[in-house]
Structure 1
Amino acid sequence: MSTTPTRTAAALGALALTLAGCSLTGGGGDDEAGDGGEVTVVTHDSFALSEDLLAQFEAETGYTLTFVAPGDGGALVNQLVLTKDSPLGDVVYGIDNTFAARAVDAGVLEPYTSPDLPDSAGEYVLDEALTPVDVGDVCVNVDHQWFADAGLPEPVTLEDLADPAYRDLLVVTNPATSSPGLAFLAATVGAFGDGWQDYWADLADNGVKVVEGWSDAYYVDFSGSEGAGLRPLVLSYASSPAAEVTAGGGDPRTGALLETCFRQVEHAGVIAGAQNVEGARAFVDFLVSADVQADIPGQMFMYPVDTDVALPEAWAAYAPLAEEPHDVPAEQIAAEREDWIAAWTEIVIG
């Protein structure tokens, strides 16, 4: 197991605060952003930032932060929609570009894009209610050691994953409940067009396993992280191998299949009906500040949207973004997402 935290492992501190019903306590500094009080931050379960940065936010603004984490990115948006009339909090982080349209169309967000957004993030802005915070490629990860021990060549492409040579080796997440799952479904639509359903039928016949969220896929079923799972192929991120670098700096046993990727962008926004609108806006601004952007790679293993931020040294070798990720326009995702999920469910789940 790596000494560098992965997205979920790094989030445990924030989740502990939530489960304990506690909040961070700031230093009661100058209340420059508003009248102070509590700001409830709703996130997916892989949110993590350094505690000193969160404490600094509280000290400088006079706000007190409380965190609520209802699940993976898909579950996060589902809960925002279901609780629209009684909002879970003031500000949300973790709505990605595959679920963004659902949140916007459901009216769960107030119009606000941070004026502090770096110029390099402009290409990722989807709507005035969303502020892009970080970027990552959702890709299939491979356990190099497993394949070496088995004497089996590693797959490279999406097509390879449906080859009988790799039967019962892949675990993915459900696109109805998981934002990486929906991103991977979009990758297959981008790669195969109208033939994506046939491709998923082939994957189903080849024994693909489906779980609800990323944590179960990566930590329970995958053989390459903590080594306890039985499947050497898992849906994760291109940056995940950088989290598996050994304590002595040795090469990780995992890698990303960069021909299987979809580019995911995660956003923050002010929740409609927020009790503390000014605090919510201040937190959105905080997420695109230079200090937080520099903290994101080491805490959440995503690329910051601010390209001026220096990346960890290991990322050049072990966390490259795909040169040609599979792409589907955001408007197509918005128009066809529900039909995709319904068809996928019938094909794969039955």
Structure 2
Amino acid sequence: MANNFENPELFQQAAAMAARRYPFERSDAKLLAFSENATYLIFDPETNERLCVMRVGRPGYHTLEEYESEIAWLRQINDYTPLKVANPIPATDGSYIQQVELEGTTYYCVATEFLTGTTLEQDDNPAAAPQHFEMLGEVTAYLHRQTEIWNGTKDIKRFHWDTENMIGENAIWGDWHAYPDMTDEEVAKIEQCCEIIKRRLDRYGKTPQNYGVIHADLRDTNILVEGDAIKVIDFDDFGFGWHVHDLASALTFIEERDEVPDLVNAWLTGYRKVLPFTDTDFVEIDTFILQRRIQMLAWMASHQDSTPVQGYMQGYMEGTMGLVDRYLRLFG
């Protein structure tokens, strides 16, 4: 996968052009983050009023149909769960997705309302972490339950986050072998784990009870809390996948920490308030956690221009190999 943001000024230009298609009297764009997309705060430069959040998709990552699927799900979540998500905002012509052409490339732009609140990540009191994960588990189950009962799920067009698309040679985020400076021994051990993961998940299978539409990145950075309101953001990775992958995603970048078993138990407590979590699901938690960890090796290798990656890479390989060795002791 090539450098995602070789021309950041084009993304800024696309955001500004798209914003002019909305009924805003004045608008300017301020970059919030580069990741799978570029996200901008659209604001009034005279009053500083926050008008919306504008997401400019990386060309080639999602199709128009995939963005339409996201908007359809967001509207369902707001209508049929106790959760709140950022509603898409229609442009002056009533459409929700703006296609901006720049230098022969199409940029898909989606505006959503600006949600206020504090992310769970911002509450950095370690004692609060289990409570956060219990909330994450409950929120995740509400989303899973909604997709199970929504007959529109069959019309969703999105990625499948299965083993091949996460850790295979042609994975969506690239090949984990491309992570810099791995030793031959590290590669061999991870390859051995990938074979075990594939074998175990082939046996686990895909059923309506364990596989469906998932958020795929439901961690503390993507939950906002304001009073009693719980708000979910960043649906860019949503697609089809195993439900337990949402638990593994909640642990992204902290999988090797000593407190993880307590966080997993807290997440399960929250999840079980809404939906069952079976013993068959439970025995594969370690498999899903390691699969996510390896998936993120590929993501970091192919996204080194992305805002947070340099910090995440610090110590990541050492932590990964600790998890790999433990997994091989358990299942090798």
TM score, norm. by length of structure 1: 0.26
Greater share of helix residues, 1 or 2? 2
Q: Which has the higher contact order (CA 8 A, sep 6+)?
A: 1
